Amino acid sequence: MKSGLEDVVAAETKLSDVDGAAGRLIIRGVSLDDLVATSRYEDVVALLLDGLFDAHIDAASIRSQLGAARVALFAHVEAADPADPALLALPPVDAMRALLARIEDGDDLASAIRLMAAPAVFLPAVLRLQNGDMPIKPDASLSQSGDILRMLSGRVPTTEQTAGLDAYLVTISDHGLNASTFASRVIASTHAGLTSSVLAAVSALKGPLHGGAPGPVLDMLDGVGKPENARAWLSHALDHGERLMGFGHRIYRVRDPRADALKTALKPIFASGQADAGRIALAEAIEAAALALLRERKPDRPLDVNVEYYTALLLDALGFPRNAFTGVFAIGRTVGWIAHAREQTLDGRLIRPQSRYVGPLPKAA
């Protein structure tokens, strides 16, 4: 038995390949760097879903279908009681999940479009309600990224901000058989439907060992405060058995390529004065100190920067509160969960592994 199923191959996929030794990510035949440089969110949706539904898929039609779906889904926000404690008191990702659970299960492209549009509408609405503001209606004419930022702040985002969110959503669209994607495939293997797959995946994603890390990364940046405090602060955390959030990965033994893609994406936002440039200098100082300390303390386990580290900086600069970062991750990863669910339904069998019983036996035995 492999603890955590490490190194176990549990599916064949044409969707993405994570090469942990080389630090390389390929999404449907395109390297991450090329994908981020050339694609918007809608392009990567078309790339990932192509051939998985009985319908023609291209980026332009995805953009208009997502826009229409966002507008239609706003009815769920309008129908919700704005004083409902499930919306106001839950962490944003949980409130978003509660709204997602109202979408009926299905297996066609229309169901997939609804599920990709839904978190983009529900997360900004939940955040505004929790802040005492009225949710803002979607604008079907905008791209998914542009509309998310507009529904969040009430202002039309700048080109740099929209490009930054696009780069983020593209970068995190799919990533092999991570815990939430595996959860999505397990549910899909029972033919329960895409909503059920996505709900299971969101539930797996929210844990701090998976998609719940970027909020704590920002807490760490705030805790360190100044570059010169980095080594002492991080040493203290490690002395107390804490893990440094944004470092380490099950597959990557080198730098996570998504970290650099995001670092590149956030630079125009900081360079144009739309965010505090001192944050990048602080993040770089903490990164250097953390890598040095991890090398000293865990010489046998290569630990490097992962995707969550620069996610924290980017999403903060785009105006998302830190308790919403996991929800934004879910907005971007939903296309990957759906693509894997469809691949599983089309080509796979019921996933039903064995366990080895190590408990007590009945007396007679």
Candidates 41, 53, 168, 247; binder of ligand COA (CB under 6 A) is 247
Candidates 109, 142, 307, 331; binder of ligand COA (CB under 6 A) is 307
Using the minimum distance from each CB to ligand COA, give the nearer residue, 23 or 138.
Answer: 23
308 is annotated as an active-site residue: yes
Residue 182 binds ligand COA (CB under 6 A):
no
340 is annotated as an active-site residue: no
Binding segment for ligand COA (CB under 6 A), chosen from 155-163, 240-248, 266-274, 354-362, is 240-248
Using the minimum distance from each CB to ligand COA, give the nearer residue, 66 or 224.
Answer: 224
Residue 328 binds ligand COA (CB under 6 A):
no
Contacts (Cβ under 8 Å, ≥6 apart) of 359: none
Closest by alpha carbon to 210, among 122, 311, 301, 298? 311
Candidates 308, 334, 336, 343; binder of ligand COA (CB under 6 A) is 308
Residue 215 binds ligand COA (CB under 6 A):
no
Using the minimum distance from each CB to ligand COA, give the nearer residue, 303 or 324.
Answer: 303
Candidates 76, 250, 255, 322; binder of ligand COA (CB under 6 A) is 250
Say which of 42, 287, 308, 343 is annotated catalytic.
308
Instruction: Name the minimum Å distance from CB 21 to ligand COA.
Output: 14
Candidates 67, 146, 176, 248; binder of ligand COA (CB under 6 A) is 248
Using the minimum distance from each CB to ligand COA, give the nearer residue, 103 or 293.
Answer: 293
Q: How far apart are CA 247 and CA 98, in angstroms?
A: 30
Residue 176 binds ligand COA (CB under 6 A):
no
Candidates 213, 221, 324, 331; binder of ligand COA (CB under 6 A) is 213
Strand 16-19, strand 30-31: pairing: unpaired
Say which of 42, 160, 249, 340 is annotated catalytic.
249
Residue 243 binds ligand COA (CB under 6 A):
yes
Cα 314 to Cα 143, 163, 165, distances in angstroms: 19, 11, 8
Contacts (Cβ under 8 Å, ≥6 apart) of 122: 73, 76, 77, 95, 96, 99, 100
The set of catalytic residues is 249, 308
Instruction: Give the residues lining the site for ligand COA (CB under 6 A).
Output: 4, 209, 213, 243-250, 298, 301, 303, 306-308
